[in-house]
Amino acid sequence: MSQLGIAIVGTGMIGNVHRRAAILAGARVCGVSASSPQRAADVASAWNVARAYRDIEEALADPQVQVVHICTPNHLHRAMAQAALAAGKHVICEKPLATTLEDAGALAAAAVASGLVATVPFVYRYHPVVREARARIAQGELGPLRLIHGSYLQDWLLDPASNNWRVDPALGGPSRVFADIGSHWCDLVEWVAGERFVEVSAAFETVIAQRSAVTGESYARPAADGAMQAVSSEDVAAAMFKTGSGVLASLTVSQVSAGRRNRLWFEIDGARASVAFDQEDSERLWIGLPDQREEIFVRGPAAGSAEQRRLSLLPVGHAQGYGHCFEAFVADTYRAIGAEAPEGLPSFDDGLRSALIVDRVIASARTRAWTSIGRAVDEERRPA
C-alpha cells in the first residue's frame, strides 16, 4: 500500500496522540485543522506539518488526503465525520462517535453505504494481555461465566478549579463520565467476554456542584482561583448490567477518585477460572484458579495467544502501554484501508453499539429503573 496522506482535525492532547501513531504507522500528515486558523498555523509549525487548513472544508478538499482523523469536541463529530465520508475519505473519529444515538446511527449507516473504512479508537482492546484474556475465554478455559465486575477511575477533575469542555453538556453531550470512560469499559468487557448487555440499572451523581469558569486542556493543571459556575454533568456513576446469558456485571466510574490516574480494571469470573486486568499495570493478566491457586501471565512475544504475540512489540520487561495500543489501532485501521481484516478493529458499528449503551444508561439513571438495552436499528447488520 502506498503511503497514506492524512489530515488531523482537532489539535488538543488526543490530536497529538493521533499524529504520533499515524507517523509510526507510515502515514504522512498533510495538514491540520484546529479551532481557528491561527491555532492551526501554530500547531502546524510545532508539529512540522506542511499545511494549516483554514477549516475542515479545506482539509477535505486536499487531494493528497485519504484519511481524516477527527479529534474535536464531541458535538462536532457527526457533521465532520459525515462530511469526510461524503468527500470519499476514510475516517478515524474519536469516541463517543456522536452525542446522540440518532447521530451515531446515521454515521454507522453512512460508513456502510460509503464502503470506506471508518473506525473509533476503543484502543484498550489493543493491550496484548487483553487479547490473551479474550482468547482464553473464547477457548472455554474459564468455563461458563458467573460474574463480571470492574471500574474505570480517574482523578483529573477532583479539584473544583479543574474544568474542561467535556464538563459542558452542550459540547460533551448529556453524559460526561459514563460516555467518556464508562463507554471504554463497556466496549472492552463486551468484546473480551463475548457477552452482550441486555439490561441496565444505573445512577449518576454530580458531587462537585461548581467548577472554575475557566476551562483548560484535558489533564492539565487546574486554573487559578476565580469565578465559579454550576455543573450539571455527572462526576461519578454506577451501573449494574445483565447479559443475554444472564451474567450480572457491575461497573463504577469516576473522574474524582484521588490517586487513580487512569485505572480501567475488570475481572471476569468463570466456573473454572477468573481473569483480571488493570490498565495501570498493563503488562500482566491475573488468573485465578481453584484450590487457592493463582497465576500471572506476563506480556511477551513468545507466549500466549497469536494476537497477544502479534501485539507484543517489545521484549519481556520492556513495558508497553497506552501509546502502543493507540499505535496498533491506527496501524490496523490503515491495514484495513489496504484490504486486510485485522482482528478486533473497532468500527463505526462499535461506536453505534457504545452510543446505544450510553443512551440506555442515561435513561436508567433518570428513571432509577431497570432499562432494556436491546439493539439499535442500524446495529442489526453487525454480528454478535
User: What is the per-residue pLDDT across 186-245, written as a single tens digit (0 to 9) for each?
Assistant: 999 999 999 999 999 999 999 999 999 988 777 677 766 679 999 999 999 999 999 999
Q: For the ranges 17-21, 65-69, 222-226, 298-302, which has the lowest average pLDDT?
A: 222-226
Sign of the dihedral through C-alpha 312, 315, 321, 327: negative
Report the pLDDT averaged over residues 136-157.
Answer: 98
Q: Which residues contact 12 (CB under 8 A, 6 or more apart)?
A: 71, 217, 218
Q: What is the CATH number of the domain that holds 174?
A: 3.30.360.10
Query: Are 70 and 141 members of one domain?
Result: no
* Residue 328 is assigned to a structural domain of this protein: no
* Residue 332 is assigned to a structural domain of this protein: no
Q: What is the CATH number of the domain that holds 100?
A: 3.40.50.720
Query: Are 205 and 288 members of one domain?
Result: yes
**How much is the pLDDT for 95?**
95
**How much is the pLDDT for 2?**
87
* Residue 384 is assigned to a structural domain of this protein: no
Q: Where are the beta strands (DSSP E) in the chain?
A: 5-9, 28-33, 51-52, 67-70, 90-93, 118-119, 145-153, 197-205, 210-212, 228-230, 236-243, 248-254, 263-270, 274-278, 284-289, 293-298, 371-372
Distance (Å, whole) CA 358 – CA 371? 12
Distance (Å, whole) CA 148 – CA 189? 8
- Residue 317 near residue 347, CB atoms below 8 Å: no
- Residue 348 near residue 179, CB atoms below 8 Å: no
The string of DSSP letters for 43-92 reads HHHHHT-SEE-SSHHHHHT-TT--EEEE-S-GGGHHHHHHHHHHTT-EEE
Distance (Å, whole) CA 13 – CA 19? 10
* Residue 112 is assigned to a structural domain of this protein: yes
Report the pLDDT averaged over residues 291-315.
Answer: 96
Cell numbers linked to 77: 463529530
Query: Are 249 and 266 members of one domain?
Result: yes
Distance (Å, whole) CA 176 – CA 152? 13
Cell numbers linked to 85: 465520508
* Residue 372 is assigned to a structural domain of this protein: no
Digit-coded pLDDT (tens) for 160-199: 999 998 999 999 999 999 999 999 999 999 999 999 999 9
**How much is the pLDDT for 84?**
98
Distance of CA 245 to the CA centre of its chain: 25
Burial of 382 (0-12, 13-18, 19+ CB in 10 A): middle
- Residue 21 near residue 4, CB atoms below 8 Å: no
Cell numbers linked to 153: 477511575
**How much is the pLDDT for 375?**
76
- Residue 294 near residue 286, CB atoms below 8 Å: yes
Looking at 122, 143, 163, the residue that finishes a domain is 122
**How much is the pLDDT for 165?**
86
**How much is the pLDDT for 383?**
43
Query: Are 144 and 233 members of one domain?
Result: yes
Distance (Å, whole) CA 356 – CA 379? 9
Query: Are 350 and 211 members of one domain?
Result: yes
Query: Are 16 and 160 members of one domain?
Result: no
Query: Are 80 and 135 members of one domain?
Result: no
Query: Are 17 and 93 members of one domain?
Result: yes
In this predicted structure, the answer to whether residue 341 has a pLDDT above a threshold of 90 is yes
Query: Are 271 and 294 members of one domain?
Result: yes
Query: Are 26 and 117 members of one domain?
Result: yes
**Helix, strand, coil % (nearest 5) of the chain?**
40, 25, 40
Query: Are 138 and 266 members of one domain?
Result: yes
Query: Are 73 and 163 members of one domain?
Result: no
* Residue 305 is assigned to a structural domain of this protein: yes
Please tell me whether residue 182 adopts helix, strand or coil conformation.
helix
**What range does the domain containing 185 cover?**
124-317+346-367
* Residue 341 is assigned to a structural domain of this protein: no
* Residue 376 is assigned to a structural domain of this protein: no
Counted domains in the chain: 2
